[in-house]
Structure 1
Amino acid sequence: MPINSIVIRQLNLCPWKSVSDAMHKYTIHRNNKSYDELWLVEHYPIFTQGRFGSSKHILEPTNIEVIKSDRGGQVTYHGPGQQIMYVLIDLKRRKISVHQLISILEQTVIKTLSYFKIRAHNRLDARGVYVKNEKICSLGLRISKGCSLHGLALNVTVDLTPFLIINPCGYANMKMTKIQNFDHDVSITKVKYLLVSEFTDLMNYNYIKWQ
């Protein structure tokens, strides 16, 4: 039955807009028999601006495309080497709130980072996951028809330079970090499987189908 089942899709490296369009299409057409899904993807370089985002957080001209998103939050950067996990979850069916899902996503990342001996934490005043005072994972969600879209972006081996020309997530002087700064041999494949394992465990899914 779909209520305790989830489908995992590995999309690899894809343009942001094509994945966003597909995510919205899935949500529009899903019903109570549709499976929850996790989409694992990396994006070509792009800045995305949340639906209430301000252009003032882009600090200088850039050749990297800036595109509007309907997720929450301000501006962030996506690029190869950043593991993105989009969570297409029927919250009503799972009987969890948006705040509970955010907490589960943060705990998913914190538990994943512990495998690399990285001590991480969340912040209630600025959602996401941090190592000391540096941000390693950003979160942004939208809820439609009681279902979630978008998800988390965890910096694994991504080039952090583009973050220098924005206020990441709307916070001036926010420093970013990545797993590679702590484990030079980290692979995004390993991170991907750890994220799925931790998330599905925290969400109590008992049937997991990889596609």
Structure 2
Amino acid sequence: MFHSIYPYKKRCLLYNQGLMPYLDAHAWQRSLLTDRIHDPSLDDVLILLEHPPVYTLGQGSNSDFLKFDIDKGQYDVHRVERGGEVTYHCPGQLVGYPILNLQRYRKDLHWYLRELEEVIIRVLAVYGLQGERIPAFTGVWLQGRKVAAIGIKVSRWITMHGFALNVCPDMTGFERIVPCGISDKAVGSLAEWIPDITCEEVRFYVAQSFSEVFGVELVESQPKEFFHSE
């Protein structure tokens, strides 16, 4: 549990998971969101995990940003309801899925996106790295390389999807797409600056930063058995 000298008013369940198939995590998010639409008093949730290699397309994203034939089935590709263009998930990339009731915070999606960026920027600062925002784009950059992608979906002010921070992934998967539809800006990972960095250590700082930025007390929890990764 993450404690602070500040009296938190909100509780947020923290699910620290390992490697989980994308569709399992997606179904879990949808279940949590549906539960909270029906009962808005339920606690907020932050899921931290990694995915096996997978490509995802946002709801209105352009499949031209894939550099391979989507019908050949060589790679797992899923179109989901988040905003944003195509992205890539794989081990070594830490993914965060906040399921938050924004009525407890601010009913402002731009504010929420900036706060998610702030979480990542504070994590980078722990390592002495200066994360940057680029106007007109969502995400976090480090010396001109995009290290964190963000894409969300909000239903009745309940959030799902979230952020993906490249910690120490195999970056070759990004070569098969135009990441986030941005062709003139490279992607990067923290391992380029900190060669021995691991997702395990970064998890702690992401959780700590999330707790500070959103003013919540994180309560480490275990999900239903169905959603335990192998």
TM-score (norm 1): 0.95
What is the CA–CA distance in structure 1 between the aligned matches of 2:171 and 2:155, rounded to whole Å? 31
Matched, 1:19 2:25: yes
> 1:173 Cα deviation (Å)?
3.6
Aligned length: 209
What is the CA–CA distance in structure 1 between the aligned matches of 2:75 and 2:133, rounded to whole Å? 29
After superposition, residues 45-60 of structure 1 pair within 5 angstroms as 45-60=53-68
Matching residue's letter, 1:15: P
After superposition, residues 127-166 of structure 1 pair within 5 angstroms as 127-166=138-177
Contact 1:3-1:35 at 8 Å conserved across structures: no
Cα–Cα, structure 1 residues 78 and 192, in superposed 2: closer, same or farther, change >3 Å?
same
Superposed CA offset, 1:158-187 (max 9, x none): 011111111100111431110111111112
Cα RMSD between the aligned structures? 1.4
Aligned position for 1:92: 103
> 1:124 Cα deviation (Å)?
2.3
> 1:3 Cα deviation (Å)?
5.9
Alignment counterpart, residue 114 of structure 1, candidates 105, 108, 125? 125
Runs of 4+ in 1 over 4 A off after TM superposition: none
What is the CA–CA distance in structure 1 between the aligned matches of 2:106 and 2:119, rounded to whole Å? 19
Alignment counterpart, residue 48 of structure 2, candidates 36, 40, 44? 40
Contact 2:56-2:87 at 8 Å conserved across structures: yes
% identical equivalent positions: 25
What is the CA–CA distance in structure 1 between the aligned matches of 2:157 and 2:28, rounded to whole Å? 18
Aligned position for 2:3: none
Q: Secondary structure at the match of 2:59?
A: coil
TM-score (norm 2): 0.87
